[in-house]
Structure 1
Amino acid sequence: MSTDFRAQIIAPAAAYGQGDTGLFPFDLFDRQCLAQGDSWFSIGSIPPGLTSNVLAELWLSHSAVIVNCARPGKTLAHMADTLSETMFLRLLRGPSSFRWDAILLSGGGNDLIDAASVGPDAPRDRRLLLRADERAALPADAAGYLSGDGWHTFEQHLGEVFAHFIDERASGQNWHTPTLLHNYAPLVPRAAGAGLISGPWLQPAFAAFGIPLDDWGSVSAELMRRLDRLLRQLVDAHRAADPADTLVVVDTQAAGLVPADPTADGVSGDWQNEIHPTREGYKKLAVAWRAALDPLL
């Protein structure tokens, strides 16, 4: 008879203990994991209790503790930054690091949003979207709204930051620790932010470039498909160079999240706001994560 265990999530500082508190009792758990990432691993609404995150909804076949370094707004570009991510890097590599059973990474989505948010006045190779005067009057498909030069720049950027993360991981005892990252479930650009201080994210950019409302969904889906393809290419290239390493892309695009209504400015489908799922949506994502993570633990 199988038993399910909800993953226990702890803050990075708790791993080492504070004051008179010693190291966290990792030996009480079958498995120990390290997580780094964005709001899909942390907070996606204001107040935070309105929704959840992937890790909070994760159930596994072994008891597991996850040290979570994620926070909202993080980009893959900064997840292994030697200045701002000292605690994560301390946990990952170096003399006081731990040997983890798996590393969980949620990154790339904010990098994509930041690139898509670059305005129309920027050079064509520095933005993902085309101005109306740069594209056909009626683009044949979603790709017709995207800058090929800008996407090439983004590919180079993400490749460089991915390589930096791999290099940091390779500099310590976790150099071959199984590492999982994920693509992003298709989202619908709409006027739905996370409270008064954040978002919406893609909707203002699409409006600024004059993309017709009826095409917002298809353009967003094309961006997510391209990000998925890019992440898989990066993983495949690394595995070809180092076949002994284990890198996995969790397919959240197949998790079956119900799309939001593009006219809704609040909760709709499985989405709390434009880019963050509801609690039920995160439960679906966590099922996809479990399917990929369980066999590696």
Structure 2
Amino acid sequence: MSGPASSKRPWTPGAGARTLAATLHGGAGMADIKLEVISTTTWAGSGNGNQVPVTNYSRVYLAQGDSWFSLGAVPPWATTNVLEGIWLKDRRLAVDCGYPGRTLAHMVDRVTDPTFDQLLAGKLAWPWDGLLMSGGGNDLIDALGVEPHHEREVRLLRRQDEWGSGSSASRYVCEEGWTTFRGHMLAVLDVLLARRDASRNPAMPVYLHTYDQVTPRFAPAGAGKGPWLAPALKAYGIPPDDWNPVADELIERLRQLWLGAAGPARNVHVIDTVGTLRRADPGTKGNSNDWENEIHPNKHGYGLLGEKWREVLDP
């Protein structure tokens, strides 16, 4: 799958990151260096990373997330992930627990992801310099997938007989369902922070990110993998001309949810990426602008998102 050549914009990962020996970053006397990402198997195989040269890194992060963070990106031959697009002023390492399709609730479930639990607060725990998180997108997709016959408290969209008046995209959003979703997300985040606070790293900063404006379209990531948003909006009878505004409304609500949950008191930080990517063209079924499929950026898009992470992690 590939879009027209004209949809590609040139990208270089930061000033001086064209090569490791390129122009120095910010006059600091050090070339930009790509964030090194390793699997949990590489880290845990030797026990607490004893065979990983941690002294070679200025920072060592724990990372957890969905397909935007996973080493098995979707699809692996055409895309990458946010972590692979981060270039920093010094050498740093991330131990990555990310997995495609994982919801935030799955990430903090000791049964679903026991390795992350051990790395965060168990026998494999380390004095991490931060927890990098990519979560909330799959939770939103799952909630959108609730069918119209269910009660309002568990669905994010209104049936046609419930649509409000006016032209705002919010008339399609079921406020009762959003209240349920918002409460669930904040409760799961509280569980994550409670486990952090009970670990050997109670002051560890947590970094979350917002998503960007997606174009609902029938562009799967492969056989049996999507699309996700377009079928849900179609099932509720929402006119295609309103698909982008509805998606933007929900992405903005999720953005505000994370921004409201952040703050120095809990040491939670948000990398705000809304408006970073050039959205896909409606009706396309493959790679378009900065998107490989309906909900995953392409390599160029992930590189642009990596720049946003750099702005927060470098200082």
Tell which deviates more after alignment, 190-199 or 35-44.
35-44
Secondary structure, counterpart of 2:119 in structure 1: helix
Secondary structure, counterpart of 1:164 in structure 2: helix
1:1-297 paired onto structure 2 within 5 Å: 1-18=29-46, 22-42=50-70, 43-46=72-75, 48-136=76-164, 139-236=166-263, 239=264, 243=265, 245-255=266-276, 257-295=277-315
Report how far residue 161 of structure 1 moved. Answer: 0.5
Secondary structure, counterpart of 1:156 in structure 2: helix
User: Whose helix proportion is higher, 1 or 2?
Assistant: 1
8 Å CA contact 2:61–2:129 kept in 1: the answer is yes
> Can you list the C-alpha shifts for 1:45-75, whole angstroms capped at 9, x where unaligned?
23x1201110111111110111000010011
Report how far residue 120 of structure 1 moved. Answer: 0.3
Secondary structure, counterpart of 2:293 in structure 1: coil
Report how far residue 140 of structure 1 moved. Answer: 2.2
8 Å CA contact 1:16–1:24 kept in 2: the answer is no
Which residue of structure 1 aligns with residue 8 of structure 2? none
**d(CA) in 1 for partners of 2:118, 2:74:** 29
Amino acid aligned to 2:274: Q
**d(CA) in 2 for partners of 1:181, 1:265:** 29
**d(CA) in 2 for partners of 1:110, 1:159:** 15
Secondary structure, counterpart of 2:141 in structure 1: helix
Tell which deviates more after alignment, 152-161 or 95-104.
95-104
Tell which deviates more after alignment, 158-167 or 245-254.
245-254
**d(CA) in 2 for partners of 1:127, 1:275:** 20
8 Å CA contact 1:105–1:182 kept in 2: the answer is yes
**d(CA) in 1 for partners of 2:111, 2:244:** 37
8 Å CA contact 1:139–1:145 kept in 2: the answer is no
**d(CA) in 2 for partners of 1:193, 1:175:** 40
Report how far residue 22 of structure 1 moved. Answer: 4.8
Report how far residue 174 of structure 1 moved. Answer: 1.6
**d(CA) in 1 for partners of 2:78, 2:123:** 39
**d(CA) in 1 for partners of 2:73, 2:119:** 25
**d(CA) in 1 for partners of 2:281, 2:124:** 48
8 Å CA contact 1:16–1:23 kept in 2: the answer is no
8 Å CA contact 2:35–2:91 kept in 1: the answer is yes
Runs of 4+ in 1 over 4 A off after TM superposition: none
**d(CA) in 2 for partners of 1:146, 1:23:** 51
Amino acid aligned to 1:248: H
Aligned residues: 285
For the aligned residues, what is the CA RMSD? Answer: 1.5
Taking a change above 3 Å as real, the CA distance of residues 22 and 32 of structure 1, as seen in their structure-2 partners, is closer
8 Å CA contact 2:30–2:90 kept in 1: the answer is no
TM-score, normalised to structure 2, is 0.87
Report how far residue 122 of structure 1 moved. Answer: 0.8
Consecutive unaligned residues in structure 1, runs of 5 or more: none
8 Å CA contact 2:121–2:200 kept in 1: the answer is yes
**d(CA) in 1 for partners of 2:61, 2:50:** 19
TM-score, normalised to structure 1, is 0.92
8 Å CA contact 2:38–2:96 kept in 1: the answer is yes
**d(CA) in 1 for partners of 2:73, 2:147:** 25
Report how far residue 147 of structure 1 moved. Answer: 0.3
Report how far residue 44 of structure 1 moved. Answer: 4.1
